[in-house]
Amino acid sequence: MESKWIIIFLLILPNPVTATSQCQTHNGGGNVDWAILYKAAGKNDGRIITATSVNWQQSPQPVGNRNGNSFGKALEHVAVADPNAKFVAYNNKPPNAVGVQTNSNSKGILIMDPTPATDSAAWIIHTVPGFPKALQAYTFPAEEIAKGHLFVCLTIKEEQLDVIAHALRIVRPLVYHHDIPATEVNSRPNLKNLLNGDSNVLPPLTISKGIKTAENPGIKAIVFSKSEKSGYEMFKRVLSRKLKKDLKVWTTRDTKLKAHALRIVRPLVYHHDIPATEVNSRPNLKNLLNGDSSVLPPLTISKGIKTAASPGIKATVFSKGEKSGYEMFKRVISRKLMKDLKVWTTRDSKLK
């Protein structure tokens, strides 16, 4: 009796994985039109909202983890090379660089799929110095965990790349890596100029450009750019006038946020939990906590206060604005008190 065997050879090939060049869901599980993530100070994950979510959600994984984090997944081919994902990375404090000086504060990534038949791209804007290392395994900078950071991703059509590049040319970002093929660069004059370091510094020194996300109808976004030679305060003189709206601004550094953002001494308020009912009944306290203050002269003032006991003691509080050229002790306090002074100070070298 003959045995018959059928031998089947299975050739198992890996499934091709599409390169990531679009914004991702909160857990990095699929493409979305846009995504915004806020990483609170002291946290390595964050709260995220996307085009497909109704409310803010907790990010399942730390920022930078491509398995379970929206932005970690969106940037996976910034860390690991892929022929179908090419990018431009810019940052005023690029990774692995010391002593770099630039007047731009811009940080971001432009990423695209250069495959001719594919129209896939994204623009990621963020606030993290040294982020990310190009074509290297990425870990979130340890020194930045203590700080709050913001990440914004917009999925765009590739035709929008040149519009964004035009806006970026005004702010002259420091491009520390790009591997977009020459055929793609040469067909986009503003992108080409940006990557070559050419920038138009002629008026207007502030511009706005409209872009939209890839979905239909998608969302419209306005990109505002300010040249380093522009003296305009970005929020008060540009954004609020253009949008004709009051603004709530999140920033890591800009101390001129509104029309009255200069206080007399401009203290850095890092915490307050006074109830709104108490704050609203005290206009100067409200202005202080909101960052509002008169920038008109006098640039030095004095205010009298008194301790709680009866009769208590009186104290005079002297304040000097940053624009005041007066030497505080000699020109202000000694003249006001008409007394010789003994001064203890940690830094002021002009005491007399």
29-73 pLDDT, tens per residue? 999 999 999 998 888 889 999 999 889 999 999 887 888 899 999
Whether the pLDDT of residue 12 is over 50: the answer is: no
Coil vs helix vs strand at 206 = strand
Q: Indicate the average pLDDT of the chain.
A: 75
Position 299 scores a pLDDT of 45
User: How far is Cα 19 from Cα 118, in angstroms, rounded to an integer?
Assistant: 11
User: How far is Cα 214 from Cα 195, in angstroms, rounded to an integer?
Assistant: 24
Whether the pLDDT of residue 166 is over 90: the answer is: no
Whether the pLDDT of residue 85 is over 60: the answer is: yes
pLDDT by residue (tens digit) across 168-212? 887 888 899 999 999 999 999 989 988 987 765 444 445 567 777
Whether the pLDDT of residue 6 is over 60: the answer is: no
pLDDT-wise least confident of 138-142, 202-206, 294-298: 294-298
Whether the pLDDT of residue 230 is over 60: the answer is: no
The identity of residue 233, as a single letter, is E
pTM: 0.62
Whether the pLDDT of residue 1 is over 50: the answer is: no
Q: Where are the alpha helices (DSSP H) in 118-239?
A: 160-171, 182-186, 189-196
Q: Which two tokens stand for residue 212?
A: 């939209």
